[in-house]
Amino acid sequence: MKRKMKVVILAGGRGTRLAEETEVIPKPMVEIGGRPILWHIMKICANAGCNEFVVAVGYKGEIIKRYFLDYCMLSGNIRISLSSGSVRTSDGVTEKWGVTLVDTGMNTNTGGRVRRLRKLLNDGTFMVTYGDGVADIDIRKVLKFHRAHGKIATITAVRPPARFGAIKLDGDRVAEFSEKSQIDEGWINGGFLVFEPAVFDYLTSDASSLECDAIEKLAADRQLTAYRHYGFWQCMDTQRDKMLLQKLWQDGRPPWRVWE
């Protein structure tokens, strides 16, 4: 039987820069369009046939666990027999997802969280992404790119959204003012990472950073490639980011909605 691609979602951090929301719920549970951003990320991956998820929880992880426990029960119709206590659901969940939720610790670093999942991931290629970023990305193309290059790891390189306008000066006079284009920005790690199990050689403890201890060292060892994503990408790092994503959803044109 063909092995299912596993997708790790790092969902254990505190999200301190979004404290207005994360004092009450973990960052991946912050809602866009009435659904947690975690759900949006999973829909993006599932659109490419990646339906097997391993969610690494930590801070307020019980809220994420409860969400999935209730997901099936609350998404459709419920019939309860008061005499026997039996419960039947119907017309509910359509997602064919397998979701494993693993408590990876309150203060574990990003690489340490992946390291704690080694027994689940040691059987082949797997993906890792963060629980706060969405994109109109074709996961199939990322995986194809990774396999074609034969390296231990692939990152998805994106251009960060432009935040400031550009001013062109003529002496003291403003000659031109324009919105800065996203294309003017450099490339950054946008998540949607692909790894071979050899990455675990770079992750030695709970304190290991996926970015510094794995990705940077893999680059130095010439074992890292970058898939360039030229389309939409947005992380939800601040309240401003959340409001932008919410507006795009409400306007009926969320670019990351790659699913039907």
Residue 89 has pLDDT above 90, yes or no: no
For residue 12, being part of any structural domain is answered with yes
Question: CATH number for the domain including 106?
Answer: 3.90.550.10
Nearest to 61 by CA among 35, 92, 94, 38: 38
Number of separate domains in the chain: 1
Tokens of 172: 């003291």
Q: Is 259 helix (H, G, I), strand (E, B) or coil?
A: coil
User: Residue 168: what pLDDT?
Assistant: 67
Residue 131 has pLDDT above 60, yes or no: yes
Q: Is 10 helix (H, G, I), strand (E, B) or coil?
A: strand
For residue 256, being part of any structural domain is answered with no
Q: What is the mean pLDDT of residues 94-119?
A: 94
For residue 260, being part of any structural domain is answered with no
For residue 221, being part of any structural domain is answered with yes
Residue 92 has pLDDT above 80, yes or no: no
Q: Could you read off the pLDDT of 220-254 as tens digits, one per residue? A: 999 999 999 999 999 999 999 999 999 999 999 89
Q: How many residues does the chain have?
A: 260
What is the extent of the structural domain holding 23?
6-250
Tokens of 2: 């063909």
For residue 64, being part of any structural domain is answered with yes
For residue 257, being part of any structural domain is answered with no
For residue 59, being part of any structural domain is answered with yes
For residue 241, being part of any structural domain is answered with yes
